[in-house]
Amino acid sequence: MKKSLGAKTILYPAPVLVIGTYDKEDRPNVMTAAWGGICCSSPPCVAVALRKATYTYGNIVLQGGFTINIPSEQHVIYKEFPFVLECKLIQQIEIGLHTQFIGEILDIKADKGVLDQNGQMDILKVKPILYAPEANIYYDLGTFLGNAFSIGQEVKKKPWNIINDCKNF
């Protein structure tokens, strides 16, 4: 038996993204955003949704690009984030209060301190911050649960009964 909570913007986990832009006088600016994430594999693209009222909105429209910086728990007030996606604006989607910017990821740059011995990103070294919408609380990353592919195989063997909830589109 489920309880209806109404139309809310709750989805767990939300990321903590720091959007970097330049304004018309080439001054750097940052803002924190939670409504965003990867949206395409090829070309590699990331989306972030902002209100028009933000300073960052105007900067992205003006400059045609932005960075998405991933703060980590130990770097949250550090001068530089360990992990940055460099993006070129390719689409601007009007949704409602928020406009969604889709940026093609041109490069990822990472501090060596967050790479593993093979030079690949290591989430345990990045220590990303997780955001819980509505409660407005940050959490850190927990522990290893399993390999995505293996859990998927287990799921395939089980019966499902989860779709009753989408009958009232």
Q: What residues from 118 to 137 belong to the interface with a second copy (CB under 8 A)?
A: 119-123, 126, 128-137
Question: What φ, ψ does residue 79 adopt, rounded to 5°?
Answer: -75, -20
Question: What φ, ψ does residue 154 adopt, rounded to 5°?
Answer: -65, -45
**Cα–Cα distance, 131 to 138 (Å, whole number):** 5
Q: Report, in Å, the least distance between residue 103 CB and a second copy.
A: 9
Binding mask 136-155 for a second copy (x = CB under 8 A): xxxxxxxxxxxxxx-xx-xx
Q: Report, in Å, the least distance between residue 117 CB and a second copy.
A: 13
Radius of gyration of the chain from its Cα atoms, rounded to whole angstroms = 18
Task: Report whether 52 contacts 116 (CB < 8 A).
Answer: no
Q: Candidates 5, 24, 25, 53: give the one binding a second copy (CB under 8 A).
A: 5
Task: Report whether 61 contacts 38 (CB < 8 A).
Answer: no
Place of tokens 């910017």: 101
Question: Which two three-digit tokens encode residue 169?
Answer: 């589109």
Task: Report whether 17 contacts 48 (CB < 8 A).
Answer: yes
Q: Candidates 54, 58, 61, 111: give the one binding a second copy (CB under 8 A).
A: 111
Binding mask 49-88 for a second copy (x = CB under 8 A): x-x-----------xxxxxxxx--x--xx-xxx-xxxxxx
Binding mask 13-42 for a second copy (x = CB under 8 A): xxx-xx-xxx-----xxx-x-xxxxxxxxx
